[in-house]
Structure 1
Amino acid sequence: MEAKWSVVLTMALMLVLVNGDESSVKPVVKIVKGQRLCQRPWECSRFSTRCCNEIISDYFQTYQFENLFEKRNTPAAHAVGFWDYRSFITASADYQPDGFGTTGGKQTGMKEVAAFLGHVGSKTSCGYGVATGGPLAWGLCYNKELSPDSSYCDEYYKLTYPCTPGAAYYGRGAIPIYWNYNYGKTGEALKVDLLNHPEYIEQNATLAFKAAIWRWMTPTKQHQPSAHDVFVGNWKPTKNDTLNKVFPVSAPP
């Protein structure tokens, strides 16, 4: 059900993104060893060849974000006032130079952002069943798990990611983080003390989006590609992958 919902949302997002207006913000350009590098104000934060491509705000803007997640601030939602467009773009600034939404030209970038937001929408929707407007409108309804029945503390990791007394590691964020070791790893990557303060994710939308984009861009296991690498075609299946029927999944047309 969730996978099917995510595909439907991705296709809907693509329709919106294709109809987006283009930005007129021009990059700052420098040439290093004969290579053209670019940087964009507040969005594509480091000089990179990828920042010379169209960036996310060139094809996905505030009104589109509002239209896509139009129910997120209704009284029935559980994270009213939390999620917004600027938080998403600000979070993406550290990852656009690495290719998030900027790899392979505008069409590939649009498809990747659509797939990412489709996944986020499926993980944070409260619009299943007969909710007004259907599930597509109800993404970003949550920013944390409600009434968790566990603190999600795994003592197996007590030496590397020890649980902080009083802390609970239930699901939080745009792609929910669970368990002390995942908060620890994410915090190390983002240089934020999430092991001792997992609540930061539900208090800061930019951080919540940044954690989700980091997860999208990072392999979850050794010898396993990231969602980003699979999506943009950086990953190719090995012979063993092919024998085990592991193949890259293309985006919806």
Structure 2
Amino acid sequence: MKLYAALLLFALVFLLESVTAQDVTQVISRDLFETMFKHRNQFYSYDAFIAAARFFNGFGTSGDFTMRKRELAAFFGQTSHETTGGWDGAPDGRYAWGYVFIEEQNDRQAYCDGGWPCAPGKNYYGRGPIQLTHNYNYKQAGDNGAIRRDLINNPELVATDATISFQTAIWFWMTPQGNKPSSHDVILGRWSPSAADWAANRVPGYGVITNIINGGIECGQGPHPASGERIGFYKRYCDLFGLNYGPNLNCRDQRPF
């Protein structure tokens, strides 16, 4: 009986240690989050991020500890650009100003594309960390098993519920988009470029993630300020995580997908 109890206790300790080791909180603490986003909008809370991340198996928990940190540095690098409030000469530098804006600041459009549902009076402009845009993205994100919310009829949830807001960004990160790989697979080194990708100079690295997210505007046309800003945020977070930057940060010589 004592042996059975000892084995049971050992099994429980092993299980708890395994779960803890794979939790995203082991990669980014509350203090580090506060340092990374010291000027953020308080809507984007640490608790909301952690709650959202735990809905997606493998996000920030795949590979060795260095790989986990690199995924979060890349995710935050891209989403910080999407939500940036920084400027040249900003206190603490322009790359300390990620996660300032919740909704699109420029010309807001309905983004209601044919073939997908739209709700009367609802618009599908950019919201949340990834600035989720277009009715088809709201539809697919909402239908995802991790979210399961009607974002077609309630797109404003992405700007009013912080956990859902982070969930939509992580959904986009984890999900292949058309002929594009997922950003998750790219940063983990799980993506193998096709012959067409090699011909287009789409090679593994942070730059191809920019291509996935906004390649039609930022890639294949030489240096672009938006792409450069994405790199600037990424480098800052790599520094905070104690990482090297890795290869192929830019997409300026890549043809868009």
What is the TM-score of this pair, normalised by structure 1?
0.71
Judged with a 3 Å threshold, the aligned counterparts in structure 2 of structure 1 residues 63 and 243 are, in CA distance, closer, same or farther, namely same
Instruction: Give the one of 27, 46, 58 matched to 1:99.
Output: 58
Equivalent residues of 1:68, 1:136 under 8 A apart = no
Cα deviations by residue, 1:46-96 (Å, 9 ceiling, x for unpaired): xxx8x4744321131111111111112xxxxxxx4311111111100012x
Q: Is 1:139 paired with 2:98?
A: yes
Matches of 1:164 and 1:109 in 2, distance apart? 38
Instruction: Give the one of 36, 40, 55 matched to 1:68.
Output: 36
Corresponding residue for residue 193 of structure 1: 150
Query: What is the 5 A alignment of 1:15-34?
Result: none
Quick one: percent identity of the two aligned structures?
36
Matches of 2:143 and 2:193 in 1, distance apart? 29
Letter in 2 for 1:173: G
Matches of 1:198 and 1:228 in 2, distance apart? 25
Instruction: Give the one of 213, 226, 233 matched to 2:189.
Output: 233
Q: Is 1:122 paired with 2:81?
A: yes
Query: What is the 5 A alignment of 1:155-166?
Result: 156-157=114-115, 161-166=116-121
Equivalent residues of 1:54, 1:105 under 8 A apart = no
How much does 1:39 deviate? 6.7
Matches of 1:242 and 1:121 in 2, distance apart? 28
The answer for unaligned runs of 5 or more in structure 2 is 1-9, 207-243, 247-257
Corresponding residue for residue 43 of structure 2: 82
Instruction: Give the one of 181, 205, 214 matched to 2:162.
Output: 205
The answer for unaligned runs of 5 or more in structure 1 is 1-27, 31-35, 41-48, 73-79
How much does 1:107 deviate? 0.7
Equivalent residues of 2:27, 2:60 under 8 A apart = no
How much does 1:118 deviate? 1.2
Matches of 1:234 and 1:29 in 2, distance apart? 32
Judged with a 3 Å threshold, the aligned counterparts in structure 2 of structure 1 residues 137 and 243 are, in CA distance, closer, same or farther, namely closer
Secondary structure of the residue that 1:81 maps to in structure 2? Answer: coil
Corresponding residue for residue 26 of structure 2: 58
| Alignment: residue pair count | 197
Matches of 2:132 and 2:110 in 1, distance apart? 12
Greater Cα shift, 242-251 or 185-194: 242-251
What is the TM-score of this pair, normalised by structure 2?
0.70
Letter in 2 for 1:162: P
